[in-house]
Amino acid sequence: MSGGFFGFNSAFPERRNDSSSQSKPPFPGFQADHVDQAFGIGQGAEEDVAVYTWGQGLDDALRDAHDDFNHETFGVDPRGLGTDFQFAAPKQTAAPSKTSGKPRGPIASTQSRYKPKPVADPFAMSEDDFYSSRVTKSVPKKPVDTKAKPSKLSSAAGGSLWNKPNVAPSQLWGTQPTSVARPEAVAPPGQVAPQTFQRPVGHIKTLEEIEAEMAGIDLEPLTHQPQLPQQPRILSLEEIEREMMTTTPIPPMSQPPPPLPPQPILPPPSLPVQSLLSPPSRPDSTPTVPLPGSGYASGHALLDSIFPQLGATPRPDLPPAHLGPASEPPLPPQPSPEELARLDALRKRVAAKIESMSRYNHTMGSSDKDYITRMQLSQLVTDDPYTSDFYAQVFSAIKRSRLAAEQADEKTAVVQIAPGAALSVSAPTESRFGKMGSKTMQRLSTQVKRLVDSRAAHKKTMDSGRFDGYVFEGRLIFLATLKGALGRVSRSGIAAPRPVLAVPVGSKPEHRPTSALNQTSGVHRPALTRKQVMYALEEMYDLVLELEQLRRTQPSPESDEMKAWDEECQLKVEEIWRRLMVMEPLDVSTPHPFIALLNAVKGQRLMPRVLRHLPHSQALTLLTLLIATYPQLDVIAHAPPPPVADASLLNKMDRVERARREAETDCFLQCVVPGMDMLISTCNLGLVAGLLNICTQKMPNLKQVASTRPGVALFTALLSRAQSLIRVPPADPNNPQPIPGPDPAEVDHWQRTFAYFLHLILPHLPELFPASVAQKAAFGPGAYLLGGEGVGEKESLEMERREAEVWGLAAALAVNAPEEEQTNLVAALRDKILHTVQGARNPVTPPFKAEMRLRNVNMFLHGLGLDASMIE
């Protein structure tokens, strides 16, 4: 989705609810702790899941070392994963009886997913190669995985193990604006207080800081996996980009090795030793028909012939009690007979299930698997992996940076198949590809490259109409690869003669007929329709994405491409600038087209991303236009109405409408206002005065603007910036040069503008406070409830925060006002101050609320050199 990604509200909230996942682990069958529930009678729904515990029968064949690929299987970071789902793990006490006397059942071939095959698979070209080829190397690499965990995670790990992955994604992208905007948008009263007016001076929050703040706010209640020393935090756009850039793609092979000949069925010399180290995990009691060309089947037959004793494993249908106990190591206390019986029944069910499933064993030979792997991988190959798999790249960048503290492993995000073709790998250090040796990687690359090449060639033949697909068998198979295996819609000629959904890809030509609007002579035009706005925004998103992508591919500064790259960026920025329509005449339409863009939540979210690319002068132009057309903004013109005391007074439509407007306002405060603040903080006094002048001139309904949260934010930012410019900081003892004060003419201009502004706003000042407005709007019994203790704590807190915003504006007015005006200011706010202070001193008021109110009032009073304690 284009809107939410960097707007930081497309949270992955699916499992944010810790408690629910705690009580219901996603894969109960894998945990010894939950094995009872998983296999219990009456849990029919779980039965199919339980099939995946096929490894159960393999007492000694499953070894700790084979945890390495758990994360691929379960999607869980293996370092956080115990071995307690391994029923054969030697010291597991969670389900002691499970390890006692189990038969070695036949193992379905799918087991290779969960447990690597013996290392010395002679058919390294097969898919299983990916799983097995590096096993022996990875075992010594990470002894911690295998040893440290069982004790740590034996029984208590039940829910937490499986919750871990839930923690991460929900934080990556922040949360809904509603939850963030409030604590963020409302500056802590202490900061806005006149003494600390330095905050907006040189330091209006940058996007990064805001993100960091968001992280701070959001992460607090969330627990994190204990393994990682570093708390997860939200990465800023820049950080993510940096991380993405640090990835070094594997250079394309200079000389792809020639296509490999069919593998001779000969065990490599190392086979005996290694297979003794790791007994084959698939003792195969069901006779398999060796498929011609099926490498696995014939290879396995060979293995059996070499090690006949390994092939002679007991039949699975032997009652488990007949086996084992004698040979087992000393057991923990025996479980009760009922438990034994239950486990026995359980085991039988599992055995039966395995039996029924094993019918399908070896229906696919290794060449088949191979074929499918290649086909699937080839679908992932693109000429621009960074763009095509953008989200995967961002995700892996985040994951990498998190892992970076522990492992400084090689960073591979993109596997280059050939120049101009690559596929991206999302899981960073622990990835399957990371485990694969470079040799395997190369072989894979060659194969996929061949496939891609031949597909391209094939496409060409098809396009030229000389398709002879059915003549050769090879061609015929090839057709199958063309039919989008991974959801790609491809047009194929004969198998599907009718073109499927004709989705044009790539750059579509901009066919824009000269608009009839061009002929209209008047300057005024009808406002953009919603559809047009949405269309424009989508195009804008595309442009911004392209530009961001371009910035990521910045060549080295010395190289020749630098200039071309620079120009390209320039062009894109200009295009974006043009599409923003900031330069349209001010009264071209109502709302102004730029404001129309900003009225959509999508457009608000886009704004910070656009602003970082615009040159300063253009950004200032944008700011000027924005302020001049501020009243046209939806968040101003249709500001959320004051809250009512009792939500039941509203009907559903009202509630939805209010919620929508509130959300819009929150989004605006979160996305647009920070950028605005940042720009204002770069203005000089003359400019600030000019902007305030625009406010007074262009806002006929200054009161209406000021009574909205975005309006308050704008005025506060302007006033505080001016104050910080006028107040010359005290001479720095370390820096003897006196800092030049502001230009007297500018100061004069400012004072005149401010006087007029104050004159306009002063009569309305008491009406700006949301609590007063709500009080006024309330009627009937609601009036009693408002401000009383009947209101929910959350609502009243929120109300106090919004009050603080307006007090902040009042304080900004106070510090800017000359002395005689300050008296008027106090007079205008007299009732409000007294009311608030009295409310705070009322013993019925909860202390936190009283404190907040006093702080609010003091924010204003301190600006005048007064304090709430002086009020009787």
Partner 1 sequence: MEQVAAGTISEPLDLVKLSLGERVFIKLRGDRTLTGNLHAYDAHMNLVLSQVEENIHIVDVGEDGTAAPPRIERRGFEMLFIRGDSVILVSPLLE
Instruction: Please report, as ranges, the residues that interact with partner 1 according to CB under 8 A.
Output: 1-4, 10-14, 16, 487, 489, 501-504, 508, 511-515, 517-518, 525, 528, 531-536, 538-539, 578-579, 581, 584, 588-589, 593, 601-602, 605, 656-657, 660
Phi, psi values for residue 208, rounded to 5°: -65, -45
Nearer to partner 1, 27 or 594 (CB): 594
Nearer to partner 1, 4 or 40 (CB): 4
Nearest distance, CB of residue 16 and partner 1, angstroms:
7
Nearer to partner 1, 1 or 41 (CB): 1
Distance between CA 860 and CA 863 in Å, rounded?
Answer: 5
Q: Token digits for 404?
A: 């970076």
Distance between CA 589 and CA 587 in Å, rounded?
Answer: 5
* Beta strands 414-418 and 421-424, pairing class: antiparallel
Handedness of CA 330, 335, 340, 342 (dihedral sign): negative
Nearer to partner 1, 103 or 603 (CB): 603
Q: Helix or strand or coil: residue 416?
A: strand
Nearest distance, CB of residue 296 and partner 1, angstroms:
33
Q: Token digits for 524?
A: 């005024």
Phi, psi values for residue 418, rounded to 5°: -155, 165
Nearest distance, CB of residue 21 and partner 1, angstroms:
13
How distant, in Å, are the alpha carbons of 67, 101, 341, 796 from that of 96?
20, 11, 14, 55
Handedness of CA 131, 137, 139, 145 (dihedral sign): negative
Nearest distance, CB of residue 635 and partner 1, angstroms:
16
Distance between CA 815 and CA 682 in Å, rounded?
Answer: 20
User: Tokens 């008021």 identify what position?
Assistant: 845
Nearer to partner 1, 510 or 819 (CB): 510
Q: Helix or strand or coil: residue 861?
A: helix
Phi, psi values for residue 641, rounded to 5°: -70, 160
Q: Which residues contact 550 (CB under 8 A, 6 or more apart)?
A: 565, 568, 569, 572
| DSSP string of 328-349, one letter each residue | SPPPSSPPPHHHHHHHHHHHHH
Nearest distance, CB of residue 515 and partner 1, angstroms:
4
Using a 10 angstrom Cβ sphere, with 0-12 exposed, 13-18 middle and 19 or more buried, the burial of residue 810 is: buried
Nearer to partner 1, 125 or 601 (CB): 601
Nearest distance, CB of residue 585 and partner 1, angstroms:
9
Nearest distance, CB of residue 535 and partner 1, angstroms:
4
Nearer to partner 1, 11 or 168 (CB): 11
Nearest distance, CB of residue 202 and partner 1, angstroms:
35
Phi, psi values for residue 465, rounded to 5°: 85, 5
Nearest distance, CB of residue 621 and partner 1, angstroms:
16
Q: Helix or strand or coil: residue 421?
A: strand
Q: What angle do CA 721, 724, 730 make, to 5 degrees?
A: 165
Nearer to partner 1, 11 or 346 (CB): 11
With beta carbons less than 8 A apart as the criterion, state whether 690 and 784 touch.
Answer: no
Nearest distance, CB of residue 652 and partner 1, angstroms:
12
Nearer to partner 1, 417 or 601 (CB): 601
Nearest distance, CB of residue 504 and partner 1, angstroms:
7
* Residue type present at position 722: A
Nearer to partner 1, 471 or 503 (CB): 503
Distance between CA 361 and CA 284 in Å, rounded?
Answer: 10
Closest CA to 752 of 798, 700, 808, 689: 689
Nearer to partner 1, 471 or 517 (CB): 517
Q: Token digits for 505?
A: 């890809």
Closest CA to 27 of 81, 68, 95: 81
Distance between CA 137 and CA 666 in Å, rounded?
Answer: 53
Nearest distance, CB of residue 521 and partner 1, angstroms:
13
With beta carbons less than 8 A apart as the criterion, state whether 109 and 55 touch.
Answer: no
Nearer to partner 1, 534 or 726 (CB): 534
Closest CA to 810 of 787, 827, 795: 827
Nearer to partner 1, 487 or 738 (CB): 487
Nearer to partner 1, 61 or 536 (CB): 536
With beta carbons less than 8 A apart as the criterion, state whether 674 and 207 touch.
Answer: yes
* Partners of residue 422 on adjacent β-strands: 382, 416
Distance between CA 332 and CA 857 in Å, rounded?
Answer: 69
Nearest distance, CB of residue 596 and partner 1, angstroms:
9
Nearest distance, CB of residue 540 and partner 1, angstroms:
10
DSSP 320: G
Nearer to partner 1, 360 or 391 (CB): 391
Nearest distance, CB of residue 17 and partner 1, angstroms:
9
